[in-house]
């Protein structure tokens, strides 16, 4: 079976007065050579299939679409080029791409791939990252995936939830969470530099936890619910 390969082709335009968008890494892939990333354990219908680190001023649009142009395929593929959707094996009955999460503190961007109807497939797609304030400042990332295999969703969006009060708070915060059937997780509190200031383990299901942040200075903090090693939601908390 061919290994999953993410071949990333970068086309960077001039940044004008805005920060240049650039991809730092594919966090769930290994850089094997010249921008080719090898990713393991990618399955159909699995949330958070691709995770990129994107750096710019934090104000960008994302568009994900099937490859529409004739392009050279990476080594090991059965064809020299592809057109339109680039399905190299049995196409799925349905598929979609979406943005799973954008962490504004770390600029981490997670891309979902959802497909059904085939147990094994290869495909190519394009991710366009564009500066909202400067549409000409954009990056095109070509994503090649070999042998995406059948599986089931790890975390469904409607399984997880997190609410906290009061907000703004003087320090004592009550956090109500629900992990559904997702793996045991944790709640992280970070400042705007990305520094973790408090961690609380949480069990599967729904419950409440109390956190005392009264020793922290006033300001904006990011509270994240993490399950299965992935951040599933992040919300702002104001301390006064």
pLDDT digits (tens, 9 = 90+) for 55-99: 555 566 665 555 444 445 555 544 433 333 444 444 444 555 555
Q: Among positive and negative, which fits the CA dihedral 140, 144, 150, 151?
A: negative
pLDDT digits (tens, 9 = 90+) for 196-222: 999 998 887 778 888 899 999 998 898
Say whether pTM exceeds 0.75: no
Task: CATH 2.60.40.1930 in the chain: give the residue spans.
Answer: 157-239
Q: Among positive and negative, which fits the CA dihedral 127, 129, 132, 137?
A: negative
**What is the CATH T-level fold of the domain 157-239, as seen in this structure?**
Immunoglobulin-like (2.60.40)
């Amino acid at each position: 079976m061919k290994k999953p390969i993410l071949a990333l082709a970068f086309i960077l335009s001039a940044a004008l007065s805005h920060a240049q968008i650039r991809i730092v890494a594919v966090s769930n892939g290994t850089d094997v050579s010249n921008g080719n990333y090898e990713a393991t354990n990618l399955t159909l219908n699995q949330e958070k299939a691709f995770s990129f680190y994107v750096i710019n001023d934090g104000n960008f649009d994302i568009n994900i679409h099937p490859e529409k142009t004739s392009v050279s395929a990476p080594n090991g593929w059965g064809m020299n080029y592809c057109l339109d959707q680039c399905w190299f094996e049995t196409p799925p009955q349905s598929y979609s791409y979406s943005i799973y999460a954008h962490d504004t503190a770390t600029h981490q961007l997670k891309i979902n791939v959802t497909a059904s109807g085939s147990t094994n497939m290869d495909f190519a797609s394009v991710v366009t990252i564009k500066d909202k304030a400067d549409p000409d400042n954009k990056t095109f990332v070509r994503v090649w995936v070999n042998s995406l295999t059948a599986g089931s969703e790890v975390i469904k969006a409607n399984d997880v939830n997190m609410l906290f009060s009061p907000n703004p708070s003087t320090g004592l915060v009550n956090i109500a969470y629900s992990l559904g059937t997702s793996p045991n997780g944790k709640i992280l509190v970070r400042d705007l530099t990305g520094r973790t200031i408090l961690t609380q383990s949480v069990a599967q299901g729904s419950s409440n936890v109390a956190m005392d942040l009264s020793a922290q200075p006033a300001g904006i903090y990011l509270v994240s619910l993490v399950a299965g090693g992935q951040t599933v939601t992040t919300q702002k908390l104001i301390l006064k």
